[in-house]
Structure 1
């Protein structure tokens, strides 16, 4: 069986970053996912570049700290101070899907602009698996040809139909390497946990617990035990009959889908032009994503676009 051992929360704190790198260099961690809006994000980016063999995904954040986008453009996601709301994921989120997409693209674009090779997507507190977020998440994953983390509890028609419609690759993740199970024996019988899957992800959070981590997460001290287990030689022995890998080894293609944004004044002519552009691209078998932004969103368009086209009305503004 193929196993991806992914460390979440890269960038959360400096101690978190050091723990992940140690678990990669001395242990069995093969992959990590990066938070683009945390206190130690820049440190994580530098460490990623120093350790190119460590797989790297985007850990989409939508419920802590501040958005990458201008808060005025993602009003349904933020509070009066411009910080992400603390969503209750057991309830309806009452959010604007377009704003979710804008922020997800902004976080992804910021990572790509750093020259990072992002090979998959997941999210903080698994918010991408909320029914009101999942389809938007798939749209972006499809656009960038990136696989996502899925889970066995979401193995339901609603999710499976969307996955099939968008043709997005996914890997089932295990979220139970946690608290009482932070021992090498956890890795002993992974076939039973895999439920017939050929590829399995194990989520983890190895860290050196620093004061910053104690302040930002109630789940802190067990992260040190995670690190201890992940670098334990016995853990590697239990995994010796499995192939450790990254998401990038599942998805070797480069990003080929371009994002083209038409920057213009709102109006029916804009909608018709976008429709015609999409049709022309399809006729020429040119794979791209085309949408229109108002001129007031020019700065946000610059964050997510590969190409920006100006509508003729812009010259009158």
Structure 2
């Protein structure tokens, strides 16, 4: 009986054959990188031994079938770069052995389901470039102890960043950029130093740094995350001079615009350079 079927990147077209559901011992099914169309056959629910299902980079459409929740042994599910619409079916909660859930670059909408927190074996979560809205589940970091990669970028997520995300001991890449997140970044300086530029929060204009509790992070300054309570957001002073077409100099009045709440002393270091760039305190030479 067939156990592995890998036809990835073979320029295949047409639809997925429903008869594939008649292979009860199939553990790996990979059709990624083709031009397959249509939807996922409901007959796939009969693949009780399936551990890996990779249909990414095709032209599949429709909703993700509820029947996929019956694949109790599934560890790897990749449906990225297709045309699937949402929301995500509640039946996926039953995939307790899931380690990789890759569903980025699909026009899926709705909120992030709370059951993701119950996938305790999860190692990688990628839901980027979609239309998810609402908050990030508050307890997401309380149970995902094995996760190393989370990418939720380029969605419409709202609310604050859950402090529980810092509990993910094996996290090596966290991307929450290009959303509508608000409030103070809840991470400790130790966590910020651990991830460095592998933490991406840019493109959330309402995010800020609580400088009273943590030192200013160079990585966050580079992403233009401003201090909480500041009147001048990063780059705001520079924008005021863009129309002049002549050098802009730093004066005492410009320095006065730096919020006193920063809670740290500037020194001549790279951090100062980031600070100056972030607040527009630099010479701007533009052509007339």
**TM-score, normalised relative to structure 2:** 0.24
**TM-score, normalised relative to structure 1:** 0.22
Q: Which has the higher contact order (CA 8 A, sep 6+)?
A: 1
Structure whose residues are more often helix by fraction = 1
